[in-house]
Structure 1
Amino acid sequence: MFRLSNNLVGILNFVTFLLSVPILGAGIWLARRASTDCEKFLEKPVIALGVFLMVVSLAGLIGACCGISWLLWVYLLVMFLLIVLLFGFTIFAFVVTNEGAGKVLSDKGYKEYRLGDYSNWLQKRVNNTKNWNKIKSCLIDSKVCSSLADKTANDTLEQFYSEHLSAVQSGCCKPSDDCGFNYVSPIVWNATTDTTTFNNSDCTLWNNNPDVLCYNCQSCKAGFLDNIKSDWKKVAIINIIFLVFLIIVYSVGCCAFRNNREDNAFWKRRPHP
């Protein structure tokens, strides 16, 4: 008869196998319909995750339910490495997102963002031209600024100043407040003086073209990093919960592995009729 730990490992891995099927299906679906760089960026990690979960869950399921010790050993080794990687990533995520915050402006519903306020590691990632071009393409494809323009099309300057903009909207869809540009519409601002006289280099990069705006600005990169910072902290918290779950599963798996070895040793010692 199977022991309790073997049954638990088998049930948990059967559920994981069922979850891997829609994840793998979603990756294949993305691969077939991907038309933008953003969608193409997602397809490979989703497929890899689906295949990984499917293979590992099958190893755990067969190893626990069929008493195959070497397969269960491989499963436990992969689980251990996954626990170490997740623990390391969680610590790393908290460290690199510990710096940076938006600057509160008086009489404004939004904040402004400066790239220098964020960790050097994150700054290097977005200052890489190849990386930023991909990110910028995704921001344009997501229509983050055009949706803001549609939502606030009839706003006066005072109404626009009271809007609660996201970090990306504040950094990418409008010029910095210290540029002193004249407001025409949420994404159309005209310079009042020669922009080369400004201390803020973002003022010279602003363009009323909907595909340019401030996507090349340092403030846009900072707004994107602020968004990443918020997302990574949420992921890190979820990782902690997932780590606790993995450690429990790993412990149960170790019990199942010990059971397999004891059962195998018993059948080897048992005298043949």
Structure 2
Amino acid sequence: GVSRNGTFEPTINEIVNWYNNEAEIGIFSTTYTVGSGECQDSVELSVEVLAPEQAIVEVNDENPIICITENEFNLNTLLSENTPEGGIFTGSEFIDANIFDATTAGIGEFEITYSISEETSECVLGEASKSFTINVIDAQEATAEATNQEIDVCSSETSYNLNDALSDDSTPGGTFFLDGEEFNGNTFDATSVETGEYSFTYTVSSEDSECIEGSATTDFTINVTSETFDAGDDVTFTVCSVG
């Protein structure tokens, strides 16, 4: 075993005083040496003291696409760098710790929630959670179709889902572009822009998933309007009550 007759430099008492009087957060190191002269050996021992951080959960992709052949998908790869590790994933029986087995789960959508709190992780204050939906797909040719070329969206709409502008046959997991610039996510906040027309492009290709073959693109225009939508004329009719 390791000899206990060595020396620490700086000493343990010096490190404790440094922690108590100068720096409570940081890396505290000391060198432990045994033997003397040419017959000695040293090792550096370090302890990193972290400051507690507020619980926060951010997801890089709320609708990730996973190929059905993926049997060990690491769910942690979907979390942002700001999200502390050590939380738990729930919502699907096909999760083992942080690994999702798409092969066993099969084709379809699976809603998963990542939660973190003082009970699940050290150095975390409070609690936070975020849900996202994994879409498991089989190998397919890329398809992109808009339901309508022009779509009216009320200027009070805060979260219009751009995926709703695509047909059911469209391949999920692609990227939206607004006026030629990549659009972040798939939620359009009409309250943050002026009324008018906004040109969107949806593109999906093999770069989005190994299950997708080829590429496809479709265009559509969102018309942000403050005008009242027309539901048609009032209708009144008479029905005879029998028995």
Higher helix fraction (1 or 2):
1
Higher strand fraction (1 or 2):
2
State TM-score, norm by structure 2. 0.20
* Higher Cα Rg, which structure: 2
State TM-score, norm by structure 1. 0.19
